[in-house]
Amino acid sequence: MTTAGQARVALVTGAARGIGRAIALRLAEDGLDVAVNDVEAGEARLHEVADEIAGLGRRSAAVVADVSEPQAVESMVERVVSELGHLDVMVANAGIAHVKPLLEVTSEEFDHLMAINLRGVYLCYTAAARQMIAQGGGGKIIGAASIVGYRPFPLLGHYSASKWAVRGLTQAAAMEWAQHGITVNAYCPGIVGTAMWDYIDEKLAENEGLRKGAAISKYSELIHLGRVSVPEDVSKFVSYLASPDSDYMTGQSVMIDGGIQFS
């Protein structure tokens, strides 16, 4: 639990690049101490992000862990608490995409994607909730869903299902943990120009016989505000979800997509 004058502490998963990095930097700008996580392959970039956070005058910790592994997630939260003192905001951002027709997805590929995108979010939500309940001061738990959690994209079928499930998990967690003063919400980005969309563009283009760059252009025609999203569009909204301004909001999965999908 934070006491007066103490900075709140956030943990952002999948923060070596893309949306996670932007969220981590924004929360640091907001005055939080921010621990960042990614897998071993992203370790060098993860340390750079932790250094950027320190450059903003905030404390940080870089924790390498695979969010699909229960013991790794437990240890990650323990390390954040031991290095930064407590945990007030969890952003379960880490995720992977996989572009493939449903009829060709193997059960191993399906399980691998669900292990990261759904079990990983579940493990981060529950590890954070246990810590926040023990602290006794409430908290903010935030997850990465997507517009495809409302309306799937073809060739992203199992990915879309994983994000749909994050919405369900977010609603159930909000119901169970409201009594502890914990709010649980998710963000649903649209088309954000990150490494993930570089991969999606390349694979969709292959499947549809288009040149590289053509798939993202085609899907971008759906965006009413007329431009592809940048990670900071999302981090501004997560800043709100992590702040006391969102204290009366829980169980919501909110589109931040420039006007693609209307609920």
Ligand X SMILES: NC(=O)C1=CN([C@@H]2O[C@H](COP(=O)(O)OP(=O)(O)OC[C@H]3O[C@@H](n4cnc5c(N)ncnc54)[C@H](O)[C@@H]3O)[C@@H](O)[C@H]2O)C=CC1
Query: Which active-site residues does the annotation give?
Result: 159
List binders of ligand X among 94-133 (CB under 6 A).
Answer: 94-96, 116, 120
Least Å distance between CB 57 and ligand X? Answer: 24
For residue 112, the minimal CB distance to ligand CC(=O)C(C)=O (Å) is 17
d(CA 252, CA 129): 17
> Any known ligand binding at 194?
yes
Minimum CB separation of residue 125 from ligand CC(=O)C(C)=O in Å reads 19
Among positions 11, 20, 123, 152, the unique one binding ligand X when judged by CB under 6 A:
20
Among ligand X, ligand CC(=O)C(C)=O, none, what does residue 9 contact (CB within 5–8 Å per kind)? Answer: none
Interacting residues of 47 by C-beta distance below 8 A, sequence separation 6+: 62
Strands, sheet with 182-189, edge to edge from the N-terminal-most edge strand: 60-64, 33-38, 9-12, 89-92, 139-144, 182-189, 253-256
- Given a contact cutoff of 8 angstroms between Cβ atoms, the answer to whether 12 and 38 are in contact is no
User: Residues 117, 179, 29, CA angle at the centre, nearest 5°?
Assistant: 55
Write the single-letter amino acid at 257: D
Q: In the complex, what is the shortest distance from the CB of residue 191 to ligand CC(=O)C(C)=O, in angstroms, rounded to a whole number?
A: 5
Stretch that binds ligand X, among 10-18, 80-88, 99-107, 208-216 (CB under 6 A): 10-18
Q: Phi first, then psi: what are they for 37, rounded to 5°? A: -130, 150
CA angle 218, 159, 50 (to 5 degrees): 95
* List of residues contacting ligand X (CB under 6 A): 13-14, 16-20, 37-39, 42, 66-68, 93-96, 116, 120, 144, 146, 189, 191-192, 194-197
Feature table: binding site? 38, 66-67, 93, 159, 163, 189-194
